[in-house]
Amino acid sequence: MLDFRAGSEKDSLGLLARAAAAALSERAGCSLDCAISVVRPGLTPLTAGTSEQAATLARWDLRNSDGPVSQAIAGRLAVILNDFSRDQRWPAYWGPLRDAGYRSVVSVPLQLESGCKAALTLITEKTGVFAPAVLADVVMFSKLAARSYVMASEVRAAEAAAAHLRNAMEARTSIDVACGVIMGQNRCSYEEAFGIIAKASSNRNVKVRALAESLLEDLPGGAPATHFKT
C-alpha cells in the first residue's frame, strides 16, 4: 500500500498525483505530469495535479465533457499517443492540449468509494509515450493507488471522528465543572445550574461551552485541565 494520508482530501490527491508521476516517469522513459480528478454527486469536482497546467487541462476537460479525463470518469480507459493523431473523438480538446505544452495523454478510471467517480491522468510533451507495456503499468498502479487512497480516506475520517468526540468530551467536562461551581454557590440542583448557564448563554449570545470556560477561568488558579488518554 502507498501512504496518501493528509489533512484534507485535496492534499491526499496531491500526494497521489506526485506518487504516480514519480513511479511511472521512469517506466515511460520521460518526465510525466499527473492530474487526479474526483467527481461526487452534488459537489464541485475536485482536481489536484503535479503542475498547474495538468490540473487546468483536466478541469477544462471535465467542465466541457470533452476529452480523455471525461471518458475515464465515465469508466473507460482513454489514450492519446500524440497531438497529431487523427482521432476525432474530442476535436475541441486539441487546442487546450497544445496550449498546455502536451502531446501524449493517458487517463484511467480510479475505483474509489461508491457513488464517487475518479480518474488518474498522465501527460507529457513527448509523442507516442504510452505504449502497451507502459499502459499496463499505468493500469496496475491505478488499482494500487485507488486502494491506498480509500484507506487514507478512511483513516482521515476516523481521525476526524475521534477529534470531534474529544472536543465534545472536553466541552461536556467544562460545562459539568461550571455547573458544579454554580451548584456550590447557589445550593441548587444540576438542572437548575445548567439552566442558569443556558440562560446567560442566550442573553449574551455566546455558546454554552464558551460561557462555562469563561466562568472557570475566573476561579482561583484558573480552569482545571482536562486529560484524556489517547
Query: Would you write out the chain's pLDDT as a tens digit for each of its 230 residues?
Result: 445 566 677 888 888 899 889 989 988 999 999 999 999 888 899 999 999 999 999 999 999 998 999 999 998 888 887 766 666 788 889 889 988 999 899 999 988 777 789 999 999 999 888 888 888 999 888 888 877 777 766 666 655 565 666 666 656 777 888 888 888 888 888 888 888 888 888 888 888 888 888 877 766 655 544 444 44
Of the candidates 3, 132, 119, 137, the residue with the CA atom closest to the CA atom of residue 54: 119
Of the candidates 50, 47, 45, 15, the residue with the CA atom closest to the CA atom of residue 33: 50
Tell me phi and psi for residue 37, to 5 degrees: -120, 135
Question: For 93, which DSSP code?
Answer: G
Convert the pLDDT of each residue in 70-114 to its tens digit.
Answer: 999 998 888 887 766 666 788 889 889 988 999 899 999 988 777
Of the candidates 42, 108, 26, 114, the residue with the CA atom closest to the CA atom of residue 73: 108
**Residue percentage of the chain with pLDDT more than 70:** 80
Residue carrying C-alpha cell 470531534: 164
Pairing of strands 104-110, 78-80: antiparallel
Residue carrying C-alpha cell 491505478: 142
Of the candidates 19, 8, 61, the residue with the CA atom closest to the CA atom of residue 145: 19
The model carries a pTM of 0.65
Q: Decide: 197 and 178 in contact? Cβ < 8 Å.
A: yes
